[in-house]
Amino acid sequence: MTTFMSKPGETEHRFSRKGRELRVQVIELDGGHGEQGFALVFGQVADDCLVRIHSRCLYGESLFSDDCDCGPELDKALDLIQKAGRGVLIYLEQEGRGLGLIAKARGYRYAERTGSDTFTSYEALGYPADPRTYTVAARGLHALGLRSVQLLTNNPAKVEALVGSGIAVTTVPLRTRALSKRARDYLEAKRRRRGHWIPGDFAPWAEEATVVLTPAVENRALTDTAVLAPVPCDAAWDADIAATPASTEPKRRMRFWKSSSQPQPQQREIAGDLRVR
């Protein structure tokens, strides 16, 4: 059971960032079994609004580490939500891919000593490579009345979670600059080990690439689109990022539907005392 407790206006307030203001409401998510987080709802959300599902990362977001892409991805997602004037940030308490900061630090230490990636390090230490689930995020979006979203992600597992719950998903890639070699190695490990997409000027991120996901082809479609070229070297990566106008990014997307019919956009108000089972 996932419980959402919020009264109209109870948490709504003005949010200022980078010279722009939006109204935001904060809703606590509690799915039980350690699945906890918050839904930050910016503006008046409706079907097809921008959504970011983000796992907590102390190093990347608060300490501004150059070793991962978590901070830059969150920053870019908020930029896009602010530009759109509305959207949802689902912020999940999943530090260290759901295993906590101590496990994360142990994984970093093992990787540093052995030269392995952090997925391999976790497994060597007896942890699962990535035990995160996104059920509470999907239920939270349903509770907000959303049946179709533009999901800001490079992670196919997040797409699968929403599509599996009946939400139509248009995937919008988050293209950020890797801040160090270690960060580039991590991106490559995510691509190789977890099937993450690395956005670039190649399929499936061409503007015309649209995938209609039906139950019969769901798993195959997601798997096929996840195999991309390795992360390029420093010079090529930097040139690739610099040559891409920010205005073109929202156009580079894929669409995933659970059925052949697309829900019609509807304006949604946030209801009070929301409960979802």
Specify if 126 maps to a domain.
no
- Give the confidence band of 198 by pLDDT, cuts at 50, 70, 90: confident
pLDDT score at 246: 42
Per-residue model confidence as pLDDT tens digits over 240-252? 434 444 444 444 4
- What CATH number is given to the structural domain containing 242? 3.40.50.10990
Q: CA nearest 35: which of 136, 142, 138?
A: 136
The average pLDDT across 217-235 equals 37
Q: What percent of the chain has pLDDT over 90?
A: 50
Residue 121 domain-assigned?
no
Residue 151: pLDDT over 90: yes
pLDDT exceeds 90 at position 122: yes
Question: What is the mean pLDDT of the segment spanning 53-72?
Answer: 92
Quote the pLDDT of residue 275. Answer: 36
Residues spanned by the domain of 254 = 19-94+132-265
Report yes or no on 238 lying in a domain: yes
Q: Is residue 86 part of a domain?
A: yes
Residue 14 lies in a domain: no
3-state DSSP assignment of residue 5: strand
Confirm whether 130 is a catalytic residue.
yes
Q: Examine the residue annotation and report whether 117 is marked as an active-site residue of this protein.
A: no
Mean predicted confidence (pLDDT) in 130-144: 93
Domain count, the chain: 1
Q: Specify if 123 maps to a domain.
A: no
Whether residue 113 lies inside any domain: the answer is no
In the set 130, 175, 184, 191, the catalytic residue is 130
Joined tokens for residue 3: 């419980």
Q: What is the pLDDT of residues 21-34, one digit of tens each?
A: 999 999 999 876 66
Q: Which of 56, 132, 184, 252 is an active site residue?
A: 132
Which tokens go with 53?
């599902």
Domain membership of residue 193 (yes or no) is: yes
Biggest CA-to-CA distance, the chain: 53
**No. of helices (H) and no. of strands (E), the chain:** 9, 10
- pTM score, whole prediction: 0.74
Residue 112 has pLDDT above 80, yes or no: yes
Question: Under 8 Å CB-to-CB from 17, ≥6 apart: which residues?
Answer: 78, 82
